[in-house]
Amino acid sequence: MTGAVRPPTVRPVEPTYSPLVTDLEHFVAGHRAHGDLFADAGAAGPNGYRLEVRCHCGVVFVRRVTPQDAGVELALLARWN
């Protein structure tokens, strides 16, 4: 086979966000103007931990983070770095 070899097409890779990160970013974006946000994470147990972020306006973001969720978050963090 003769002829020029085409270089592979390189496409930019978009970061992949987990539902937890996406939901938390939306919460923060919608409530940052109200002042400081207060976060608390419960003690880790075999089923994960409870993440709670409170806003001055009274709205609370609550999520149960399972070990599987935490694993996805770590994998995505490693990918971003």
- What digits encode the pLDDT tens for the residues 11-61? 554 445 567 878 888 999 999 999 999 999 989 888 888 999 999 999 999
The whole-number pLDDT of residue 77 equals 67
* Element of type H or E holding 34: none
| Domain parsing of the chain, residue ranges | 19-80
pLDDT recorded at residue 13 = 47
Judge contact between 62 and 50, C-beta under 8 A.
yes
Between these two residues, 28 and 77, which has the higher pLDDT value?
28
* CA distances in angstroms from 2 to 5, 28, listed in the order given: 9, 57
Alpha-carbon gap, residue 7 to 45, rounded angstroms? 50
Average pLDDT over residues 47-76: 86
